[in-house]
Amino acid sequence: MKFFLDTANVEEIKRVNDLGLVDGVTTNPSLISKEGRPFEEVIKEICSVVDGPVSAEVVGLTYAEMVAEARQLAQGADNVVVKIPMTEDGLKAVNTLSQEGIKTNVTLIFTVSQGLMAAKAGATYVSPFLGRLDDIGSDGLGLVADLKTVFDNYDYDTEIIAASIRHLPHLEGSALAGADIATIPGSIFPKLWSHPLTDSGIQAFLDDWKKFEDSQK
């Protein structure tokens, strides 16, 4: 399973990247706005830090706007992936961009049919939003599993990015359901390697070692 970092904070990206855990980055207009810097500047810096795919989202809603923005974004770096919203115009844009060799990530996927349409249009990635589905009482992890089954049934190359990850069970469930990628907020990453029994185990080992050293004096 690949891990993407869901943030636009470069220092946060560098920190987790130094652990060898970052296979790519996803951003959105909300995350970019928190950085207080020009959009293009932030994306270019992230692309220089991370070798893997970096998703940058269009803000236009019409076919023409999305395609124009996507072409401009794709010129910024070789590893840019253009995030496109799941709409009729979005599907049309994905179809055009895929024919031009521009990679796309269709975002805000909430049903199997939406994911299937995006894959058929030529999307490189689809992003089902687990947390937001959970918020309305739906089964986000079930959607990931169903998308995996459908893509396997019809040999689609489109990869599934489990998005809107809120907690550890989301990540573990996505891995079990067959998601290709999980995009994880920086606040969640430390919880992936932390456990109180690990901490107490380390402390016990240290205490035992201190007792041993004291006994040798």
pLDDT in tens, 59-93: 999 999 999 999 999 999 999 999 999 999 999 99
Q: In this structure, what CATH number is given to the domain that contains residue 111? A: 3.20.20.70
In contact, 127 and 107? CB cutoff 8 Å:
yes
The dihedrals phi and psi of 155, each to the nearest 5 degrees, come to: 55, 40
Residue range 27-48: average pLDDT?
93
Query: Residue 99's pLDDT is what?
Result: 97
Number of domains in the chain: 1
Residues 91-137: tens digit of each pLDDT = 999 999 999 999 999 999 999 999 999 999 999 999 999 999 999 99
Q: Which of 14, 44, 83, 211 is catalytic?
A: 83
Domain of 96 in residue numbering reads as 2-215
Query: With bands split at pLDDT 50, 70 and 90, how would you rate the model's confidence at 215?
Result: very high
For this structure, is 83 an active site residue? yes
pTM of the entire structure? 0.93
